[in-house]
Amino acid sequence: MSSLLSITRPTKRDSRSNDYDSDVDMKDAMSEYQDEGSKDNTSVVTPGELVTEDPTWMKGHGTYSLENQTYSSVAGNVLRLNRLLSVIPIRGRYEAETGDYIIGRITEVGQKRWKVDIGCKQDAILMLGSVNLPGGILRRKSESDELQMRNFLKEGDLLNAEVQSVYSNGQAALHTRSLRYGKLRNGVLLKVPSSLIIRQKNHSWNLPGNVSVIIGVNGFIWLSKTSSTSTAPSVNASTNSAQSALASKGGYKPGEGSVSITRLEEESSWEIYSDKNDEISASIRGTISRYHNVIKAMSACELGITEKRICMGYDASMMYADTSMLIEREAQEIICQDIIDSEKMRGD
């Protein structure tokens, strides 16, 4: 039917077509798109697009299949891992994976469990048995603990945690059984799309200016005043030394407690569940808000977020004396361009 018609092409707007003309022009080739032959045109596939006709591929996430054909069901990049073919969506909600370092907010206190909003499709579960309670790690959870769950964590509290496991229905279970995890205080939460977060070895850093950042893999970012007993590595030194410092201080190694049990007992006092913020000086507040706006700018320009880039963005933002100027679209773009430029200069 369609061959009868020649429907004229409505004109493209010019704002977008600067660098990406090559993709726009291939639209007619797209309809004749058959198999992997024309794949090198673009790495992005869109819903309903035929990915492969080869039946040997196993179908992973983001695909569906009919007989031998495998189609994409999301807009994203094709990932071929051994014989598994999946499409990773460009955007989308965070999908929890075991071991992810995340930040969440309590939404519900239930029977022996908290429900935590982690920006996932479903709220995650934090069992009473997977948190440190005052009195030490080896303590049994008693009925009285169950009754005073709201004293530990209540609706609206923020915490950082690790994904312990993911159930078959996609729901995540969390744990906070390490001193690095627990209730968050003295800072501000910032949400960015989780696709912008790049998974790294370490997700909590001390930034210049006495500010700490925790970059949750789920796109929740916590900026706070560096606490005096912080174990997070400093990034003032070069990355390499930071890495070694991390190793020496007992960085993140799954399954290996970084703190001795005795110290854990000391620190697992009620204090870790306190709601009271420390004294925060105006200058630190200013620094925190500057970092906050820098990260916001990066998210607005859809730049991947790493600690190094945050630092570079922070330096770039210094040309604006007033942090409130950073929320202007123009300033945001300038900062991001700066980050990209300085990355190029360093050659990475």
Partner 1 sequence: MGKDAEISLNERNFVKEGLKNGFRLNGRSLDEMRRPIINIDKNEYGFVEVEFGKTKLAVRVSCEIVKPYEDRPFEGIFTISTEISPMASPMFENGKNSDDEVLISRFIEKAVSRSNALDLESLCIIAGEKVWHIRADVNYLSYDGGLIDATCIGVMTALQHFKKPDVTMKGTDIIVHDFDQRQPVPLIILHVPICITYSFFNPVDREENIKGDANLEIAIMDADRSEELVRDGFLVLTLNKNRELIQISKNGGLPIDGLALIELTQRAHDRCQELTEHIKALLQADEKERYKNMNLHLLEVGASR
Partner 2 sequence: MSRLELYSPEGLRVDGRRWNELRRFDCKINTHPAFDGSSYVEQGNSKVICMVRGPMEPPMRSQVNQTQAVIEMNLNIASFSTLQRRKRSKNDKRMIEMKTTLERTFEQSVMSHLYPRTLIEVNVQVLAQDGAVLATMTNAITLALIDAGVAMYDYVSAVSVGIHDQTPLLDLNVLEENDMSCLTIGVVGKSEKLAMLLLEDKMPLDKLENALAVAIAGGHRIRDLMDDEVRSHGNQRVSKLTS
Where on the chain is the footprint of partner 2 (CB under 8 A)? 1-2, 4-8, 10-11, 13, 16-17, 19-20, 23-24, 27, 30-31, 42-44, 46-48, 62, 64, 71, 73-77, 89-93, 107, 115, 117, 121-123, 169-170, 193, 195-196, 198, 299-304, 306
Is 41 near partner 1 (CB under 8 A)? no
Smallest distance, partner 2 to C-beta of residue 317, A: 19
Interacting partner of 240 out of partner 1, partner 2, none (Cβ under 5 to 8 A depending on kind)? none
DSSP E strands: which ranges in 182-339? 182-183, 187-191, 204-207, 211-215, 220-225
11 vs 262 by CB, closer to partner 2: 11
Q: Taking the C-alpha atoms of 175, 180, 186 and 188 in order, what is their torsion angle to the nearest 10 degrees?
A: -60
- Rounded CA-CA distance 183/214 in Å is 13
- Rounded CA-CA distance 220/192 in Å is 6
Segment near partner 1 (CB under 8 A); pick from 18-26, 32-40, 64-72, 109-117: 64-72
Figure out which of the listed residues 66, 138, 147, 321 binds partner 1, where binding follows CB under 8 A: 66
Q: What is the CA angle 313-319-320, rounded to 5?
A: 95
Residues in the chain: 348
The footprint of partner 1 on this chain (CB under 8 A) covers a number of residues equal to 6
Is 69 near partner 1 (CB under 8 A)? yes
- DSSP assignment string, 293-308: HHHHHHHHTT--B-HH
Paired tokens of 3: 């061959």
- DSSP assignment string, 101-115: EEEEEEEEE-SSEEE
For residue 141, give the amino acid letter.
K
Of 281, 107, 250, 78, whose CA–CA distance to 179 is shortest? 250
Interacting partner of 27 out of partner 1, partner 2, none (Cβ under 5 to 8 A depending on kind)? partner 2
Helix, strand or coil for residue 264? helix
Figure out which of the listed residues 71, 152, 222, 314 binds partner 1, where binding follows CB under 8 A: 71
Segment near partner 1 (CB under 8 A); pick from 66-74, 130-138, 171-179, 262-270: 66-74
Cα-Cα end-to-end distance for the chain: 52
Smallest distance, partner 2 to C-beta of residue 77, A: 7
Helix, strand or coil for residue 288? helix
6 vs 229 by CB, closer to partner 2: 6
Residue that the structure tokens 């950073």 belong to: 326
Paired tokens of 63: 């695909």
Smallest distance, partner 1 to C-beta of residue 153, A: 38
Q: What is the CA radius of gyration of the chain?
A: 24
Is 152 near partner 1 (CB under 8 A)? no
Smallest distance, partner 2 to C-beta of residue 200, A: 9
Judged by CB under 8 A, the chain residues 43 through 62 that form the site for partner 1 are: 48
Is 291 near partner 1 (CB under 8 A)? no
73 vs 210 by CB, closer to partner 1: 73
74 vs 264 by CB, closer to partner 1: 74
50 vs 166 by CB, closer to partner 1: 50
Of 280, 294, 286, 229, whose CA–CA distance to 259 is shortest? 229
Interacting partner of 20 out of partner 1, partner 2, none (Cβ under 5 to 8 A depending on kind)? partner 2
Smallest distance, partner 2 to C-beta of residue 207, A: 19
- Rounded CA-CA distance 53/51 in Å is 7
Interacting partner of 306 out of partner 2, partner 1, none (Cβ under 5 to 8 A depending on kind)? partner 2
72 vs 287 by CB, closer to partner 1: 72
Give how far Cα 176 sits from Cα of 6, 89, 245, 270, Å.
61, 29, 23, 15
Residues that bind partner 1 (CB under 8 A): 48, 64-66, 69, 71
